[in-house]
Structure 1
Amino acid sequence: MTLILVLRWAAFGWMAFVAAFGGQIVRTDIGAAVLAVVFVWTLIVTLTPQRKGSAAIDLGLAAVTIVVGGFVEPAGRVLTAHPSFAGIYPTAAVAAWAVIHGVRGGFAAGAMLAAVVPLQYYFNGVTPVGLLHLETLALLGTMLSYPLIGAVVGIVTGQLLRLTALADHGARLEERARLAAEIHDDVLQRLAAIRRDLPDAAARAALERQERKLRRIHLDEDTPHEDCSLAEEIYRLVEEFSDVPVRVASTGRAPMARQTVTIVVAAVKETLTNVRNHAQANRVWIAILEDPEGVLVTVRDNGIGFDFDEAALTERGRLGLSLSVKARVENVGGTVKVKSRKGRGTEVEMWIPRSG
């Protein structure tokens, strides 16, 4: 969203420059009023968190700048190569919709702005149905540019989220492989040497059992598609959070593909990290409920909570939940729901299908 804010300010600066020095504004009073509104709104978007409905206001203002451009400029200006009053400012609203609502949202926002372009022609004294062939192509090109920009930004944003999740997952797998190699090269060899020197048969047998467990950990790295227990891995994860009292309840082992378990455990770890760093909670509950279709993992805390609004958080550039939790779970075909209110804690539900 930082890049979109930069685009907003650059586009506003261009609007002001065209209005002041382009010699293409015949209704300076209306142009100045629209510039003042755009400036105030851009400042609000930059300095304050956005509430529900702000994206709609943003898109509405973008549509107004397009229509007003036709009204304040000389008649027939839309048929010339002169810079327009609205410039590229409306594209910032389309890009914001694409980041918040994905490809469909960006395309829909672009389609709405495309629909008002003929009004710009009308208020500029040009009848769209009476255009020459090349002028019609120019109109259609302008109209198509908005939904195309929305779709492209939505696609790029989705790809970036997925690549971030995959890169993080790859780094974790690489670290696990390194640790497994260290276990195999150092720890297992030392255990074998110690076991040979032990005089007590019972002690040798106990040490041999531990050695087999460690070897199994190493071999697991070479069998990423073998099923393992999601519940057991989450129980192991909880041991890393000794500073936060966590209770885990499970209806079973919840066996799933090892790669899926690795990704889901990483999502649960990020959720617990958020609780530890931000929630001010003194109790956390994790429930692992399985059925034939999948597994539901719920992480609930009794912390301070917050007013969860994914669109507003994304608008402010706070993509932690999206990148660290939601993108991971969606990468294995699952879904994430977040429920939170100030003073009432937070609950994160992760649904993972068996097919994942």
Structure 2
Amino acid sequence: AEREHLSRSVHDGVLQTLALVARRGDPELAALAAEQEVALRRLVSGRLTVLPVGQVDLRALLPVGADLHLAAPAGPVLLPAHRAAELAAAIGAAVDNARRHGGGQAWLLVEDEPAGVTVTVRDDGPGIPAGRLAQAQADGRLGVAQSIRGRVEDLGGAVGVHSTPGQGTEVELHVPR
């Protein structure tokens, strides 16, 4: 009874607003509203996947947006909660860099492998000039060094940054289970 009451309240308020924004908002806001509408409908309908205790579906923590193209497994990508949160923070920093310095589009590929999870963030921007990352770290700007590489390495993982000027940047993050 309580779930039905909550479902009606959410349907009559929040879901209607999200649907309206999805139909009439600017494209980026509309895409975000549509994604949130789907997630909220799943929540109130009770069709959420039950996860093992202490495990988190990494997909639920990933950044979203009209400028971000996501390719991920259909099923849950399970990691212990702390590992998922740290990896998601590193992914978020890589996506923020792609949005800030890239050419407007970014791609996020999630691979769920038996030994771990590999996530690749790629953009179509101008790329990173040779020596730029080392100079940024020397200047005290620690985004790639600490927020991305530091988080992943603390989890026993590795980060690779591949960039060619004029051809964009690719950041690959791998975290073992």
- TM-score tier after normalising by the smaller chain length: 0.5 to 0.7
Q: CA–CA distance in 2 between the matches of 1:192 and 1:291?
A: 39
Q: Does 1:195 align with 2:5?
A: yes
8 Å CA contact 1:308, 1:338 repeated in 2 = no
- The RMSD of aligned alpha carbons is 3.0
User: Partner residue of 1:289?
Assistant: 111
Of structures 1 and 2, the one scoring higher in RCO (CA 8 A, sep 6+) is 2
Q: CA deviation at 1:278?
A: 2.0
Larger relative strand fraction: 2
Per-residue CA distance 1:64-114 (angstroms, 9 max, x = gap): xxxxxxxxxxxxxxxxxxxxxxxxxxxxxxxxxxxxxxxxxxxxxxxxxxx
Q: Structure 1: where are the runs of 5+ without partners?
A: 1-190, 199-206
Residues of 2 paired with 1:345 and 1:193: CA distance?
47
- Residue identity over aligned pairs, in percent, reads 31
**Number of residues paired by the alignment?**
140
In the alignment, structure 2 segments of 5+ residues that lack a partner are 9-40
Equivalents in 1 of 2:105, 2:162: separation in Å? Answer: 17
What letter matches 1:195 in structure 2? H
Q: Which among 38, 44, 53 is matched to residue 210 of structure 1?
A: 44
Task: For residue 101 of structure 2, give the secondary structure of its aligned residue in structure 1.
Answer: helix
Match of 2:136 among 306, 313, 316: 313
Q: State the alpha-carbon separation in 2 of the partners of residues 257 and 290 from structure 1.
A: 14
CA distance 1:345–1:210, change in 2 (3 Å): same
SS of 1:306's equivalent in the other structure is coil
Q: How does 1:1-356 map to 2 (within 5 A)?
A: 192=2, 195=5, 210=44, 226-234=54-62, 237-238=63-64, 241-242=65-66, 245-251=67-73, 252-279=75-102, 281-309=103-131, 310-354=133-177
- Is contact 1:249-1:287 (8 Å) kept? yes
TM-score of the two chains, using structure 2 as the length reference: 0.66
Query: 1: CA distance between counterparts of 2:143 and 2:117?
Result: 23
Tell me if structure 2 keeps the 8 A contact 1:308–1:339: no
Structure number with larger C-alpha Rg: 1
- The separation in 2 between residues aligned to 1:290 and 1:308, in whole angstroms, is 31
TM-score (norm 1): 0.35
